[in-house]
Structure 1
Amino acid sequence: MIPLRGSGVAPSPASGRLAEHVRRASSEPAASALTADRLYRFFRTGEEETLALQGVSLTVNPGETVAVVGPSGCGKSTLLGCLAGLDEPDGGTVRVGGQRLSHRPEAERARLRAQRIGVLLQNRNLLPHLDVRANIELARTAGRVGPWRRGFTENLGARVMELLERVGLSTRAHAYASELSGGELARAGLAVALANDPDIVLADEPTGELDGDSERHVLELLRDRAGAGAALLVVTHSTRVVAIADRVIHLHDGMLTS
C-alpha cells in the first residue's frame, strides 16, 4: 500500500528497492536489436584461402538505420548473410535481441529469422512458382507456431492486402516474379521482407537497379519500418540510402575502417 503524505508511515525496504529498480530500468538504454561480435568468415578454393570477414563487430539499436558501404568484394554481402543467419561465421557470434543466432542448427536459425528478421536480398526474395500474394502469405506465417501463430493468421488476408497497397502492388497480387518489372520486383521483395512485422530488417542493395521514383518509394517504406521501432541495416552503394542513415559503417577487405 502506498503511504499517504504526512501519515508518518515509512516505506518498507522492499518498496524502496522496487522504486530503485524501476528508476534504474527507466534510465538504462534499450538493449541492442542486433549485435555482431568479432565475426570471421573465410572461403577456401583449392590452395587459396580468402578472408571475407576479419573480426567485424557492430550493433544496431531499435529504430536505428545503419548503412554498410565499401567497394565490391569487401565482404558486405557476406556480413549480411551472417547477420541474417543465412550463413554461419567461422568465428564470432551474432545475437538478435539478446538471443544467439549463430552456431545453432539451421532449423533453429530459420525459425528465429522467420520470427524476428526481415531479409531483402538482391534476388528480391520471391519464389518463382508462387504469385506475389502467396509469397507474402508464406513469409507471414513461416515459423509462427503456438501463441505466435494465432495473431498472424487470423487476419492474414487483410494484412497481405495492406502490405500490397503500401508497396503499390494491390493490382499485381496474382502476378509471378517473371511477370514483374524491376521496380515491381523490388517492392514485392520488400513486402515479403516486411511481412512478419520484423524487429530487424536487413537489406542487400535494395535500390541498386531502381529509377529515382522507385528508389524513393522503397526508402520511404524502409524508413517507416525503422520509425515503428525496427532496427534497419542496409548494404548499399547508393548515396540516397547513405543520406537517410543514422550511422554509416565502412567495410574494406573484410574489416571495419570507421
Structure 2
Amino acid sequence: MRVRKLQQPRGWAFTVGAMILKPLFFLTTRPDWVDGTKIPATGGCIVVINHLSYVDPLTAAHFCYDHGRLPRYLAKSGLFRNKVLGFFLRGAGQIPVERATAGAVGAYDAAVAAVNAGECVVVYPEGTLTRDPDLWPMKGKSGAARIALATGAPVVPVGQWGAQQLLAPYSTKPHLFPRKTIHVLVGDPVDLADLAAKPLDAAVIAQATDRIMDAVTELVARLRDEDPPAERFDPRRAGVAEIGNPTQQPRTRDAG
C-alpha cells in the first residue's frame, strides 16, 4: 500500500477531522488501498466511487487523505441544516446538494468551479446508496459526467467494498469489532475524450455516465471476485424510491 504526503494546507476542519477519525479508523478498520496513486497528486480531478453505506464519505476521505488529496464532496443539503455538522462541512469546503430539485444546478456550478480551481471533487455517481439487492453499483446519475465534460478534468474510477460490514446500508448502528477491512481499488481515468469533442446533449451525457459506471462496476467486481449483473439495477424501473430509505417507503408501479 503506497501513500502520499498531503501537500496542500489542511485547514481547521480537516485537522480536527483527522485528529478524531484517524485513531478511530485505526481501531476499527484495516485499510486495503490499491493503486491510490492513480489519483493525480495535484490539479483538478473527479473521483467517482460506488456508494454502500453512510460511512462511505469518511472512509473515502481517509483514503484520499492518505494519498495526498483533500476531498470535496457533493453532500445532501439536509446535513448542512444541523448547526454543528453544517459548520464543520462548510469549514471543510463541502458542497450542499438539493437533490431532485432545481437547486441542484447550484451544486453543479460549485463542483465545476472547485475542479477548475484544482480541487479533488468526490462524486457518488449513483446519487445515493445503491438500491441493488446485492449491493452492486446501480444505474448512475448524470452529475459526474456533466462535471467531467464541462471541465475536461480526469475522471478517476474507484471501487470499494467492506464499508457495509462496518455500517450496513441505512443502518445507524455500526459493527465496530472485530476490525473490518475496507478494500479500495483505483482504476485508470475514464476516457471521455471523444465525447468531449461532441455537442453536449442527452445522448452524450448518457454515454459518459455509462462509461463511468462501467469502470466503477468493473473495479467492484474485481474486489468481490464475482461477475456483476448483466444489467444495472434501475430504481425507477423497479418502482423503488430514488432518495430516502427505500425499506421505509411504499413501492410504486413502473411508469413505463
TM-score by length of 2: 0.35
TM-score by length of 1: 0.35
Q: Larger % of strand: which?
A: 1
Greater Rg over alpha carbons, structure: 1
